Amino acid sequence: GAVVSQHPSRVICKSGTSVKIECRSLDFQATTMFWYRQFPKKSLMLMATSNEGSKATYEQGVEKDKFLINHASLTLSTLTVTSAHPEDSSFYICSARPLKGTEGDTQYFGPGTRLTVL
Amino acid sequence: QKEVEQDPGPLSVPEGAIVSLNCTYSNSAFQYFMWYRQYSRKGPELLMYTYSSGNKEDGRFTAQVDKSSKYISLFIRDSQPSDSATYLCAMSASNNNDMRFGAGTRLTVKP
């Protein structure tokens, strides 16, 4: 149980285009999903917290107009990188926190999406 | 001072060795402690989850939490080459809405 999927697993795009990444909890419901960014050999950096049905909460220094987050249902959150630039190239990982009392108080991570902006 | 400190390594051990991974933290409000394993170019996988102080064992893995010292450990017995990965500690004060990660320790188990 507690499987989180991400799509796509890898994307290469041209500078200036927008890229959408989906995060789905496959076998549980998640009121809260998290989006992280990870640079090579570095730890996870929390970008934003996404709650179903409400606006995302962004960490300091993360541009909310550049990284659009939508949490449309209890099993789906999307991250859209708008007008992507080469410096946005990174490994983006989502996680989902199950509803309390189901899978426990922890986060389950997706496999990540590697974004390369040319 | 970072909230969570973890030696990034790298750490290299022979197969069969006992591995000890550690993190220290400064926020006394942390109550939930996790260890994640991350293989190269993959998402983190939850290994161990502990609430408050004490020990927890799962197969070859043992997690220890010492809240008085603000110190947590993960022990791997009879280490295998397949254990080669980056191990991340994580902790939060409540409900994981404010989870903080360590830098991750890269472990290599040599056959």
pLDDT by residue (tens digit) across B51-80? 888 899 999 999 999 999 999 999 999 999
User: Considering chain A, what percentage of its residues have pLDDT values greater than 90?
Assistant: 65
Across the interface, whether the CB atoms of B43 and A43 are under 8 A apart is answered no
* CA of A22 vs chain B CAs: smallest distance (Å): 14
Across the interface, whether the CB atoms of B43 and A111 are under 8 A apart is answered yes
Compute, in degrees rounded to 10, the torsion defined by CA atoms A58, B100, B106, B80.
-120
Cβ-nearest to A43 among B42, B95, B103: B103
| pLDDT tops 80 at residue B96 | no
The answer to whether B85 faces chain A, any CB pair under 8 Å, is no
In whole angstroms, what is the distance from residue B107 CA to residue B88 CA?
A: 11
From A106, which residue of chain B is nearest by alpha-carbon distance? B96
A43-87 pLDDT, tens digit per residue, is: 788 999 988 888 899 999 999 999 999 988 899 999 999 999 999
Do A84 and A17 touch, CB atoms closer than 8 A?
Answer: yes
Backbone φ and ψ for A78, nearest 5 degrees, come out as -125, 145
B10-43 pLDDT, tens digit per residue, is: 999 999 999 999 999 999 999 889 999 999 888 8
User: What pLDDT sits at residue B99?
Assistant: 81
In whole angstroms, what is the distance from residue B105 CA to residue A91 CA?
A: 18
